[in-house]
Amino acid sequence: MKPVALWLALAATAASAAEPGRDLQGEWWTPGFNARVRIEACGDGAVCGRIAWLWDDKPQGIADKTPLLGKPVIEQMRLAEPGRWTGGRLYNPEDGRDYKGSLQLRSPSTLVVSGCVLFICQTQVWRRADPSPCPPVASP
């Protein structure tokens, strides 16, 4: 029985080493729960993120946000050190700009997202989303 347990442990370790960012993958809420971003592996050891859900109550005078669904917001982040990804780009749909970015996993449920243009930087804290559907459905 011990050789089987050892083999399973080695296989799990190899799988996580082969897929950097596995602990980062999943869905994350942006500040204010305005958007939900799905982070996934996107080849060659990188992670990428796309908008999976947006709060869109369409107040008068505000453009329809539907075209932003599926839009990449995190591109080609690679593991720089344990818990930190760099080298990619962040897209901010609010201002339409791309930023040099980094991601830092502070805890299994907290992700620090930082983006900079020249010397101007912005940082946000994202929270891991639970597996419930978006928007939440009321129970009968």
Q: Which domains does the chain have, with CATH numbers?
A: 22-128 (2.40.128.520)
Whole-number pLDDT of residue 67: 73
Residue 126 to residues 5, 28, 34, 84, Cα–Cα distance (Å): 36, 6, 11, 14
Q: pTM of the prediction?
A: 0.74
Residue 96 predicted with pLDDT over 80:
yes
Whole-number pLDDT of residue 16: 42
The whole-angstrom separation of Cα 57 and Cα 15 is 41
Tell me what the mean pLDDT of segment 123-138 comes to.
77
Encoding tokens for residue 6? Answer: 């050892």
Query: In terms of pLDDT, which residue wins out, 139 or 69?
Result: 69
Lowest mean pLDDT among 19-23, 29-33, 67-71, 82-86: 19-23
Whole-number pLDDT of residue 5: 37
The whole-angstrom separation of Cα 72 and Cα 1 is 46
Other Cβ atoms less than 10 A from the Cβ of 84: the count is: 13
Encoding tokens for residue 38? Answer: 């799905």
Whole-number pLDDT of residue 136: 58
In the chain, how many H helices and how many E strands? 1, 8
Whole-number pLDDT of residue 17: 45
Percent of the chain with pLDDT over 70: 71
The whole-angstrom separation of Cα 47 and Cα 102 is 11
